[in-house]
Amino acid sequence: MKRLLSTFAAMIFALALSAQTGIIPKPQKEIIREGYFRLDKSCVIYSNEKGSFNTQYIQEKLIKATGFAFSRTKKQPADNFIKLEVNPSLNIPEEGYLLNVDEKGITIEAKNSSGIFYGIQSVLQLLPPAVYSGRVTGREEWSVPFVNIEDYPRFSYRGMMLDVSRTFFDYDVIIKYIDWLSYHKINKFHWHLADDNGWRIEIKKYPELTSKGAWRGPGEVLYPSFGSGNKRYGGFYTQDQIKKIVAYAAERNIEIIPEIDLPGHSRAVTATYPDILCRRTDESLSVQGEGKNVWCVSKEPNYEMLENIIKELVRLFPSKYIHIGGDEVNYSAWKNCPDCQVLMQEKGMKEPVELLNYFVRRMEKIVEKNDRHMAGWEEIIEGGDLKPETRVYAWRGVDKGIAAVSKGQPTIMQPGSFCYLDMKQSEVERGHNWAGIVTLEKTYSLDPTGDKNLPDSLSSLILGVQGGLWTELLNKPVRFIEYQTFPRLAAIAEIGWTNQDLRNWDDFKTRLERKHYSRMYNMGISFRLPPPSITYNDGALRSELPYPWAVVRYTSDETTPDEFSPVFRGEIYTDNPFKYRFATFYKDEIISQAVMVNNVSYVYQKPSVTIETSLSFQLKFPLSNLKDYNFSTYARTTERLKKGDYLTYIFEKPVFTKRITVSTGIPEIDFYGITEGYVEYSYDGKVYIKGNEFTDGISVILPKEPVSAVRIVVTGESDGFTAAFTDLKID
């Protein structure tokens, strides 16, 4: 019944779509009238903005897509125009615009350039999606429906955070990313530039931050991690590149807020300049498994260095805010440090969290001295007060954001279970799951002011919303940054822009599927397409389409479907449903995750097994997890793997099988697997036959006789601080 209702709702909204523009984020007020204005080769652009980037921007987009000249005129044209008119006395909120399309032309009015820019974005969305493609197809009719739109954002802060430390994205990717954000009326880019696994911004006074701290791998100061394996991995942005990116973003109404994560998450700095660390360090690890990654709070030279770094940052970033992190500090270093302990006593502090507040307040002073305000993750509200201007980013939950505004701090809502785009989008897709499965619908369901009973004095301190993409799992597959970001960022854009009473999931989903897929495709975004849901009943495989016009292709030999695979139509009768794989295709170029039947599970063999190993395992993730054939449990080592380590599965009795799949890494997340190693197997328990190397943490054995034992042999250092092993999958 629920499904019927939602199909019905989708139909209603599909009908309703003809009465609305389909723009994402949805405009506050829109009226469509009958008729179209058609762009042609004599259409002109008029603007009263002086030296306007906006004029050049729309002109360039239109020329590239249509091939028409779109000459600029200085006189008010009578007809066949695109007019961009700034009118400072216009009665409309900041960043708002009025858009009118009639038989004479297209008129955008706004108080200032940012409003004009957003009016242009809406016009682009009203045009055929090929307008984003940057090339002339010659097939489009360049018409825009007659509309009246009055539009402005609900929130002044509509952001996206990208971690470039764990996975590095080069200059060109960042430029493209900023374009994509701007198409969605996102106005803040929170750039997470330094973390444990790489320092990514050139600082002239401390060149080693990037000559050393930006690199990991053999012989580097940082261990390999997140799939960087045996290669030197890293990169950084030069100050020249940063300036260009900041300017590029500013033209598109995007403010870049730089983050240097302090005083924890600082392994890249402390590995480069070990004097930063406490005098006596310990072997404890942060929640992310990093040791020795915390700045000593009591060393005065540390603050001098930080001041020098902040000085260079403020020269590069005009943003009023500098983000200093403040999250997930491992206090054990401070607890063991005689100097930090003396500082605590001197200041009459009882808890290490007060040392965090001490550090944060010192940073606040440094930042304010440079005529900026400080921002940090929600942990900075703990352990003491902050300046009222200091901005808090809530990440563990909406309640944390409410706690921050209750203390009077302006706050950005970025709760993990809605806004962390590194989370999985379904059980079978790549991603983390510690904040849950973050489906598009889940993301869309966030209301940043949450509790309806929040008094205005507090809800007005909630400045907006932000998506966040942490990148430990972004090393593969290619273009995964796009897959994780879109379309969930389209949902965040609408949360940030559109008033809550105008937002509706079915309506958003319909606009997305009918209009926005095509726009994103033309923007060059390899977005996430939902996979089909496949069931097996009464001997037949059947599919529930993720949206009514979805194309699903399939294979019957366990391979991933491609554009040449047959289209799935209705049902397939088979005795062997597990051989089939299915995927949704958009224009045969954008492909969903391939899936198999989901209402019945393949049954693997479960022979009795014992384990012999050179490794030791964490109490919470014991070896017994490798014998229970529960594929969601796993065993985790206490240490990084090294050459010569092994783990052998010994069967009680030889096992008849055609295939054994040896997977390592945390199941379903594909994290902390083996990077350097191979499998070997034995028929008699004495002589071992060498099998395949591990690829992506997996090695497959195709035995010719019953198997007595399977051994994992490690040939080099793995690139996680721990490794995870799972049960064998025995066909």
Residue 340 site contact among ligand ACM, Zn ion, none (CB < 5 to 8 Å, cut-off depends on kind): Zn ion
Least CB distance to ligand ACM at residue 176 (A): 25
Least CB distance to ligand ACM at residue 225 (A): 16
**Rounded to the nearest 10 degrees, how much is the dihedral formed by the CA atoms of 583, 586, 590, 595?**
-10
Complex with Zn ion: residue 296 or 701, whichever CB lies closer? 296
Least CB distance to ligand ACM at residue 721 (A): 17
Query: Nearest 5°: phi and psi at 101?
Result: -120, 125
Residue 327 site contact among Zn ion, ligand ACM, none (CB < 5 to 8 Å, cut-off depends on kind): ligand ACM
Rounded CA-CA distance 620/639 in Å is 14
Complex with ligand ACM: residue 155 or 393, whichever CB lies closer? 393
Least CB distance to Zn ion at residue 296 (A): 3
Residue 208 site contact among ligand ACM, Zn ion, none (CB < 5 to 8 Å, cut-off depends on kind): none
- Type of residue numbered 269: V
Complex with ligand ACM: residue 140 or 328, whichever CB lies closer? 328
**Cβ atoms of residues 167 and 234 within 8 Å:** no
Residue 328 site contact among ligand ACM, Zn ion, none (CB < 5 to 8 Å, cut-off depends on kind): ligand ACM
Complex with Zn ion: residue 239 or 341, whichever CB lies closer? 341
Least CB distance to Zn ion at residue 262 (A): 14
Complex with Zn ion: residue 278 or 660, whichever CB lies closer? 278
- Type of residue numbered 697: G
Q: Which residues in this chain contact ligand ACM in the complex, by CB under 6 A? A: 327-328, 377, 395
Find, among 716, 670, 642, 692, the residue nearest to 231 by Cα: 716
- Mapping DSSP onto H, E and C, the string for 154-210 reads CCCEEEEEEECCCCCCCHHHHHHHHHHHHHCCCCEEEEEEEECCEECECCCCCCHHH
Rounded CA-CA distance 133/137 in Å is 9
Least CB distance to ligand ACM at residue 725 (A): 27
**Rounded to the nearest 10 degrees, how much is the dihedral formed by the CA atoms of 210, 213, 215, 220?**
130
Residue 92, CA distances (Å) to 112, 184, 400 in order: 10, 20, 32
Residue 377 site contact among Zn ion, ligand ACM, none (CB < 5 to 8 Å, cut-off depends on kind): ligand ACM
**Cβ atoms of residues 366 and 307 within 8 Å:** yes
Find, among 329, 330, 279, the residue nearest to 302 by Cα: 279
Residue 337 site contact among Zn ion, ligand ACM, none (CB < 5 to 8 Å, cut-off depends on kind): Zn ion
Q: Judged by CB under 5 A, does residue 209 bind Zn ion?
A: no
What is the set of active-site residues?
195, 265, 328
Of 284-343, binders to Zn ion (CB under 5 A) are 296, 298, 337, 339-340
**Cβ atoms of residues 200 and 193 within 8 Å:** yes
**Rounded to the nearest 10 degrees, how much is the dihedral formed by the CA atoms of 445, 32, 182, 139?**
120
Complex with ligand ACM: residue 395 or 497, whichever CB lies closer? 395
Of 251-290, binders to Zn ion (CB under 5 A) are 278
What residues line the site for Zn ion (CB under 5 A)?
278, 296, 298, 337, 339-340
